[in-house]
Amino acid sequence: MCSPEYFAVEYAINPWMDVTAPVDPELAVKQWDRLRETLVGLGHEVHLLAPEPGLPDMVFAANGAFVVDGTVYGARFKHHQRTDEAAAHRAFYESQGWRFIAPNETNEGEGDFAYLPEAHGGLILAGYGFRTELPAHAEAQEALDRPVVSLRLVDPRFYHLDVALASIDDGNVVYYPGAFSTASQRVLGQLFPDAVLADDSDALAFGLNLVSDGANVVLNSEATRLAGRLKAAGYTPVPVELAELKKGGGSVKCCIAELRR
């Protein structure tokens, strides 16, 4: 995770960003810190990436890379405003001794990649259509030695896979069908017949931008209906308030890069 010490909405690179809407930096840090404390309280170890001035979106740490079994496939951001974040993420992983593979193709890390180790023998779901380019899916497959299923995003409000779909355990997902092309919806239905489906109100509340450890699901507190559906499916919803960071187009998952050793 990376503190939103320098978080601001200084430019608009997704439909949620409004440069005229004021951001409360102190509240953003407070809400982010509560998320960090929630993860620690659930028994997880949190590593911190130092924020850098001039990079207001560094708080969205999930976008910096994608990690599977100790191998890191680095990010290459679409928009120039975020380009310099990639080097900070690479330095973090290399300092920790991770195997880092630099990308040649445009991709935004866990923003557009999700890993399910027990689904069909180990499967990467990969989004494209707005940020990550389709050739990055093949590059990730070669780098990480896992099959990749490409899913086309068609609604600009759901510009990353992680605002439209999330893994809720090692073999199942929750997603909003309307974010995907008709063909991609069919693929998801075939792969995950027992998936939890979200409605548009859950999706627009950033409810799908969540993190699950297989039992506890940390999600945006505005997504009350989705929390009920997850509870009915046997998970424990853990709501958190992240209204300030939502102004940048992100929520729980955007703030968390998962380290899979």
Q: What distance in Å separates the CA atoms of residue 160 and residue 78, rounded to the nearest whole number?
A: 12
- Judging by beta carbons within 10 Å of its beta carbon (0-12, 13-18, 19+), is residue 174 exposed, middle or buried? buried
Reported as a pLDDT band with limits 50, 70 and 90, residue 4 is very high
Per DSSP bridges, beta strands 71-74 and 65-68 are antiparallel
Residue 160 designated active-site: yes
Catalytic hit among 2, 89, 137, 160? 160
Sheet arrangement for strand 216-220: 211-212, 216-220, 236-240
Domains of the chain, start order:
25-255 (3.75.10.10)
Reported as a pLDDT band with limits 50, 70 and 90, residue 138 is very high
Q: What distance in Å separates the CA atoms of residue 66 and residue 194, rounded to the nearest whole number?
A: 25
Q: What distance in Å separates the CA atoms of residue 64 and residue 85, rounded to the nearest whole number?
A: 7
pLDDT in the model for residue 19: 97
pLDDT in the model for residue 10: 96
Residue found by looking up tokens 């990690």 in the block: 67
The string of pLDDT tens digits covering residues 153-168 is 999 999 999 999 999 9
- 181 and 157 in contact (C-beta within 8 Å)? no
pLDDT in the model for residue 198: 98
Catalytic hit among 2, 89, 137, 254? 254
Residue 254 designated active-site: yes
Q: What distance in Å separates the CA atoms of residue 193 and residue 191, rounded to the nearest whole number?
A: 6
Reported as a pLDDT band with limits 50, 70 and 90, residue 187 is very high
Average pLDDT over residues 128-138: 98
